[in-house]
Structure 1
Amino acid sequence: MKQILYIIAISFFPALLNAQNLYPEKFEDCKLPEFCLDCGSPQAQPPKTVFQNILRVIGEKNLATLKGTIEMQILVDQQGKPCLLSIDNKTNLGSAELGIKQSVNATENWTPAIGGTKKQNSSVSLIMEFEGGKFRAKRRTFNFTNQSNMKAAGTPDRKGSEKGELGERWKVFTQGNSELPWDMSRAVATDLKGDVWIGTDNGIVKISSGKWQHFNSGNTIISATKYNKAQTEPVRDMAVDQKDNKWFVIGYDVYRYDNRTWTRFDSLNSPINWARQIVVDPKGNILFTSWEGVAKFDGSKWSVMNKKNSKLPSDRVLGVFVDSKGRTWIGTFDGNVIIEKGKNTALNDKSSPLSKAYISKMWEDKKGNLWFSLYNEKGTAAGMYMLSPDGKWERLWKDNPTMFAGNSINDFFLDEEKNILWLSQNNVGIIRYDIVGKKTEIYTTENSNVPSVNIERITKDREGAIWAATFAGIIKTALK
């Protein structure tokens, strides 16, 4: 059996008392009436065999081909019995095939958390990263200082730019200095009127002309969390369509807000099942990526593109995009395809970066250039690329081919007016790239007031300021 390469802790700051499903794939048979996030002094501790047991069930054959990351939320009761509550499986194999639930639940008892003199029910998060038949293991740890909020700061995995080289100043919005309902935020977008929308792990905010309007489980049909009815399910992604409808992935369902009425789409009235990313195509169709293919809504009817009916390499879809020529680009963990006029073509030309890494996001600029963020934890192909209309590829940061190998691109935003490319890099921070001047500025928690190394969506408001959702508040560039 392969050995653990290292075990580290990722510090999380102010967390919840009554926790929730942290990850999209949940297991209903794992229940406790109340538990807290990695609480106790001491905290719950796993047996030394925990990772070996998981690897034993995965098996040597699967381990040899397994690549990607699995993050697990494990409940540990007062007797130390573990059970798998939720999981975020970003590997090339399914959770059932890997036997994750079986292996976690069959692990020998943990040492339970202690609160004062009593044992406590607690939630613990473990991360396993797989590549080349080897793996690394991490534990997310939570530190309670404010039980009415949750945020994660963290230490960057790589060094940012020197402070003197940074040209932007950031304003940080948190629950403490603004009307933001929750510091942990994953989504931000600008609507057609120029209003900014923020999706947090406990409610949505609309900012219009400096006024903040709140949407949550108390004043909409959005579901509350299962373990705390006073808290709203987390917003995982959002987008705005051509009719100014707002679309949200909230918890495990999709919601549409047409500026008057909320509509929910779930497994009962749609093919939605753990939607991850929302993309609006040029015709106004709404596309949702998932681990079961791509769901498409044309305003009245639903359809699905998957391995069975569209010859996708895998149903585990990372990204999707429809360009101005009507071509649908789809990135999966097992390769990329393009669908044009009903014909599916695998993008496996060895001269193209699309044969070596997987599409996580795309964008088309006004000149017809296609921009790609590509994901692959193995090798050096991951990164940012541009494909010109005449078919020529250009790689950004080509002199640093491993820049995005271990720390993937969560999102990017192309500011065409200023020729600036913005990227959020996982466990690093936010990157500003001057396309003309070829200058890179990397903002982290160590060299700036950017509050977290976990940054998700990026947008631009009508005044030209850049906004980004982080796990410790919302950040906005100060206009010069």
Structure 2
Amino acid sequence: MKKTLLVMALSLFSILLNAQSLYPEKFEDCKLSEFCLDCGNPQAQPPKTVFQNILHGIGEKKLVTLKGTLEMQILVDQEGKPCLLSIDNKTNMGSAELGIRQSVNATENWTPAIDGTKKENSSVSLIMEFVDGKFRAKRRTFNFTNQSNMKATGTPDQKGSERAALSERWKVFTQGNSELPWDMSRAVAADLKGNIWIGTDNGVVKISDGKWQHFNAGNTIISATKYNKAQTEPVRDLAVDQKDNKWFVIGYGVYCYDNRVWTKFDSVNSPINWARKIVVAPKGNILFTSWDGVASFDGSKWNVINKKNSKLPSDRVLGVFVDSKDRTWIGTFEGNVVIEKGKTTALNDKSSPLSKAHISKMWEDKKGNLWFSLYNEKGAAAGVYMLSPEGKWERLWNDNPTMFAGNSINDFFFDEEKNTLWLSQNNVGIIRYDIESKKTEIYTTENSNVTSVNIERITKGADGAIWAATFAGIIKTELK
């Protein structure tokens, strides 16, 4: 089988800090208490056989159908021995099924990182992307401003718009110019009172009338990281429900803040196990996607939607949404379904884009149109689609069908007031699309002051400004 390998050596500022797992799926057999993130001059270097060993562990039969992205944090000790510390598995197969930990830990010794004449313990993040029996790989970029902060800026995979064609300017909040406790941020939302909430890799921030309030392991029940009690577990997603409760995916668990009391939900008191995304249903239920199906909470009782009880094609759920007709749409890595009045229907009509790509996010506008971001690294089906109440499909960027094949959509926000769609595109930047004029503006680190190519969540503030959480700070559009 033909395999394509692209390894990108990327620049890095070094930093020593207590051990930290970067990704949600963690492994406990790496025992070092302190290491640096890809530090050294030279940095730790893998043996030439590292990717071949991983592919051998996966096996040729699985490689044929394997699709998606694996991001691995590998700890390399002073002797060069590798150990898989954490992983973000966004493929259609489980990590245990792929044998990733065994393959990484069994590879030949690396060349360890060196600081001057001293060998260092360090961690390296590698990304493998699989599509159509082939793969490509690269090394994750990290930049650091000081010994307590981490950020990732990156170079865009695609060219942005000409600077003169951009209609928006961005205001940037970082640890250096604001009270943001950590530059690497993954979530942002506006509550019912117009306050902005930010989820960082070191705590939660609330901005109210220009005043910043912090919530972390020191003043709430939010857990600290295992190896550094002064640092809070990363916030991976957040949402605000109809009662103005704030919901957070933090570390392994889920937290709810009712503006007075914090409550934690985990595998002990709920069916939640490594929740990924939070979605608020019209009737107030809170839905959590995971690799174990969908967990739903109505305020007192939990319910689980999975392959066993609801005929999902897979328990590895990418997206979920409940529309105004109380239909539950679920996207998995093996196909999409809609559940209505307890009946599950597979969305495999060949004339529908839902038969060719997987639902990652949905939204319903005031006219009853359903908006979809669809994920699929194979072929040209990934992208943004709109389904009218009459059942007619419309595809945005129809003249560029492979626009989101290699660089998927992380999030989108439909600003109905301005008839504008905002999208964050993985490893590219943020996109502004005027629905009436069909004008596209692509903002990257190269043509604007957008700070990172990694943008996770987008929201709108009460004043009309668009906010986005990036791996190098928070950005918002400047009001005109």
Distance apart, 1:10 and its partner CA? 4.5
In structure 2, what is the equivalent of residue 394 of structure 1?
394
Q: Are 2:376 and 1:376 aligned?
A: yes
Give the equivalent residue in structure 2 for 1:219: 219
Residues 267-298 of structure 1 show CA distances to partners (whole Å, capped at 9, x for unaligned) of 11111111000000011000000111101111
Aligned to 2:327: 327
1:69 corresponds to 2:69: yes
- Once the two structures are superposed, residues 297-341 of structure 1 have per-residue CA deviations (whole angstroms, 9 ceiling, x without a partner) of 110111111111111111110000000000000000000000000
Query: Counterparts of 1:92 and 1:75 in 2: how far apart (Å)?
Result: 25
Is 2:381 the partner of 1:351?
A: no
The CA deviation at 1:13 is 5.7
Q: Is the 8 A contact 2:14 2:36 kept in 1?
A: no
Q: Indicate how the Cα distance of structure 1 residues 13 and 235 shifts in structure 2: closer, same or farther if over 3 A, else same.
A: farther
Partner of 1:235: 235
Give the aligned residue type for 1:252: Y
Deviates more, 1:137-146 or 1:366-375: 137-146
Structure 1 residue 434: Cα displacement: 0.6
Q: Secondary structure of 1:35's partner?
A: strand
Whether the 8 Å CA contact 1:224–1:232 is kept in 2: the answer is yes
TM-score, with structure 2 as normaliser: 0.98
Alignment-derived partner of residue 123 in structure 1: 123
Quick check: 1:13–1:152 contact (8 Å CA) kept in 2? no
Percent identical across equivalent pairs? 86
Q: Partner residue of 2:416?
A: 416
Structure 1 residues 359-392: Cα deviation after superposition (integer angstroms, max 9, x where no partner): 0000000000000000001100000000000000
Give the Cα–Cα distance (whole angstroms) in 1 for the partners of residues 181 and 2 of structure 2: 44
What secondary structure does 2:97 align onto? Answer: helix
What is the Cα deviation at residue 116 of structure 1? Answer: 2.3
Task: Name the counterpart of 1:262.
Answer: 262
Deviation per CA, 1:178-229: give whole Å up to 9, x if none.
Answer: 1111111110000000100011111111001111111111100111111211
SS in 1 for 2:53: helix
Amino acid at match of 1:182: W
Q: Which residue of 2 aligns with 1:106?
A: 106
What is the distance in 2 between the residues matched to 1:370 and 1:15? 45
Whole-angstrom distance in 1 between the partners of 2:61 and 2:387: 37
Secondary structure of the residue that 1:263 maps to in structure 2? Answer: strand
**How has the CA–CA distance of structure 1 residues 180 and 14 changed in structure 2, closer, same or farther, with 3 Å as cutoff?**
farther
Moved more, 409-418 or 28-37: 28-37
Task: State the 4+ residue runs in structure 1 displaced beyond 3 angstroms.
Answer: 1-4, 9-16, 141-145
Matched, 1:136 2:100: no
CA distance 1:464–1:164, change in 2 (3 Å): same
Residues 1:156 and 2:164 aligned together: no
Tell me: CA distance 1:14–1:479, structure 2 relative to 1, closer, same or farther (3 Å).
farther
Aligned residue for 1:73, secondary structure, equals strand
Q: What corresponds to 1:363 in structure 2?
A: 363
Taking structure 1 as reference, are residues 443 and 12 closer, same or farther at Cα in structure 2, changes over 3 Å only? farther
TM-score where L is the length of structure 1: 0.98
Cα pair 1:15 1:143 within 8 Å, conserved: no
Q: CA deviation at 1:414?
A: 0.5
User: What amino acid does structure 2 have at the position aligned with 1:66?
Assistant: L
Q: Residue in 2 aligned with 1:448?
A: 448
Q: Is the 8 A contact 2:142 2:151 kept in 1?
A: no
Contact 2:69 2:91 in 1 (8 A): yes
- Is the 1:12–1:153 Cα contact (8 Å) retained in structure 2? no
User: 1:181 maps to what in 2?
Assistant: 181
Q: How far apart in 2 are the matches of 1:16 and 1:214?
A: 25
Match of 2:221, as an amino acid?
I
Give the CA deviation at 1:143: 4.4
Give the drift of 1:139: 1.2
Shift of 1:137: 1.2
CA RMSD of aligned residues (A): 1.2
Structure 2 distance, partners of 1:11, 1:353, is: 39
* Gapped regions of structure 1 (runs ≥ 5): none
Any gaps of 5 or more consecutive residues in structure 2? none
Contact residue 249 and residue 276 of structure 1 kept, 8 A: yes
- How much has 1:133 moved relative to structure 2? 1.1
- Amino acid across the alignment from 1:21: S
